[in-house]
Structure 1
Amino acid sequence: MLIAEDLLLLLYDDETGKPLTGSPGLDYALAGAVVVELTLLGKVDITTEADDGKPGRLKVLDPSPTGDPLLDERLAVVVEKAGKKPKDVMGKLSKKLRDPVLQRLAERGILQAEENKVLGLFPVTRWPAKDAQHEGEIRASLENVLKLGTQPDERTGALIALLSALDVVPKVVTDAVDRKALKRRAKEIAESDWAAAAVRRAVQDMQAAITASIVVASSSAAASGSS
């Protein structure tokens, strides 16, 4: 399972099949998850000051295919946009990403597609859980880290950081008594040394890119609405 698949499971309500947060944040977070996955695979990196004094830019380490079509499509985007800041590439990385991830989860029997109509007119697809076993394991890992204080592995740490960037941790870990403490713990994890330097750079830059992209998209929408 990809980090993006695990993230999407957490961001959809098991019963209603509706997302817990809207666009573009959810889609940017998925794109961020893919970049982190590519970093874990040694395919991409985020530059530092040692790279010609231009830190915080996408860098390709190995452009060869991963064998996963979804990852390879996004790797091709990174190859094309190498040298750009992540926030400037989030739009292209996130384009037409969510539906393929949902379809993959449905093909595995984890989610199921339900066709409905809003107001009896507008078609919409919901994605409720069909087999929640894997998601339950993910949630158990999150709770061990966020509530019991255990050290996260790289995948769990990345998930927590991406959820924190979307400010949805309390919506995912719903039985926490102290929501502020939960959010504070998630932020601590996002900023701590739970992963190798390359992965940590990728996660932190993806967090910043998600936040920046949401702000830009919201500002553009507000400007369009007022014109």
Structure 2
Amino acid sequence: MSHPDTLIAEDLLLLLMDDEKGRLSASSQAQPLLGGALLVQLALDGAVEVEETNSRWRPAKVEARQVAGTDPDPLLAGAWETVAQKPRSAQDLVSRLGKGVREQLQDRLVAKGMLERRQTRVLGLFPSTVWPAADRQHEQQVRQRLQDCLVAGAAPDARTAALVALLAAVDQAHKVVDRGALSTGEVKRRAKAISEGAWAAKAVRDAVAASQAAITAAVMASTAATVSAGS
């Protein structure tokens, strides 16, 4: 399992954090989204696979695959071990893999010098931790790649396309770029086209599609539960 300087999940977190306030937008979506990011990265590494199924009633299961490689990222290795326990649906996995991951990712980004951990108080009373940006260079590079694909029409690499698919699953793709003369709808359509495009092997696209659907379902269930509790 090879890995670059950051995980896709770390890039996602940087994109969705407010650089000044140090808080996460769409925080209720974080667990399934970040879990989905780990699952998608495992798929890009060839470490997981979605079974073929023709059933409309039984969700396809995700299975682990052995991959030759050295020094796997510890977070990815832990996610792979969870998948390897037994075949599970993507919807089960995105929530399972995302549990407690945001805090781990924030700690890692602080260690890399990209975020700063700062203690503050809400309403001057309640202690709270915020994570404002410390070094924005990497985040700006990620945003530029997204800008090139979603606005300028450049062909994405597999990692950028996966990032677009994950952002689209929580309706955020159009919010992380400067869309210029394009409408919100046009950027959303480009994000959808990239998500479904032929940028990776079918096995990877199957895993991305399953993760997208699982994230969307988990977010809708969370929103419904919140609305129900408030009514």
Larger deviation, residues 216-225 vs 96-105: 216-225
Deviation at 1:121, TM superposition (A): 1.9
Shift of 1:83: 2.2
The residue aligned with 1:132 is 136
Name the CA shift for 1:15/1:175 in 2 (closer, same or farther; >3 Å). farther
What is the TM-score when the length of structure 2 is the normalising length? Answer: 0.89
Aligned amino acid, residue 103 of structure 1: D
Gaps of 5+ in 1: none
Give, in whole Å, the separation in 2 of the partners of 1:55 and 1:198.
Answer: 16
Whether 1:71 and 2:76 are equivalent positions in the alignment is yes
Partner Cα distance (1:163, 1:153) in 2: 15
Question: SS in structure 1 opposite 2:133?
Answer: coil
The sequence identity of aligned pairs, in percent, is 42
Change (3 A) 1:83 1:61: same
Deviations 1:49-79 (A, max 9, x none): 39xxx77211111288863211122112111
Q: Are the aligned partners of 1:63 and 1:75 in contact in 2 as well (CA < 8 Å)?
A: no
CA 1:223–1:120 in structure 2 vs 1: closer, same or farther (change >3 Å)? same
How many residue pairs get aligned? The number is: 221
Contact 2:46 2:65 in 1 (8 A): yes
Alignment of 1:31-110 (within 5 A): 31-49=35-53, 56-62=60-66, 67-80=72-85, 82-110=86-114
Output the TM-score relative to the length of structure 1.
Answer: 0.90
**Residue 197 in structure 1 maps to residue 183 in structure 2:** no
Aligned-residue CA RMSD (Å): 1.9
Q: Distance in 2 between matches of 1:157 and 1:26?
A: 19
Which stretch shows the higher mean deviation, 4-13 or 173-182? 173-182
Q: Which residue does 1:21 correspond to in 2?
A: 26
Superposed CA deviations along residues 95-135 of structure 1, whole A, max 9, x for unmatched, are 11000001101101011111111111222211111111111
Name the residue aligned to 1:160.
164
Unaligned residue ranges in structure 2 (runs of 5+): 1-5
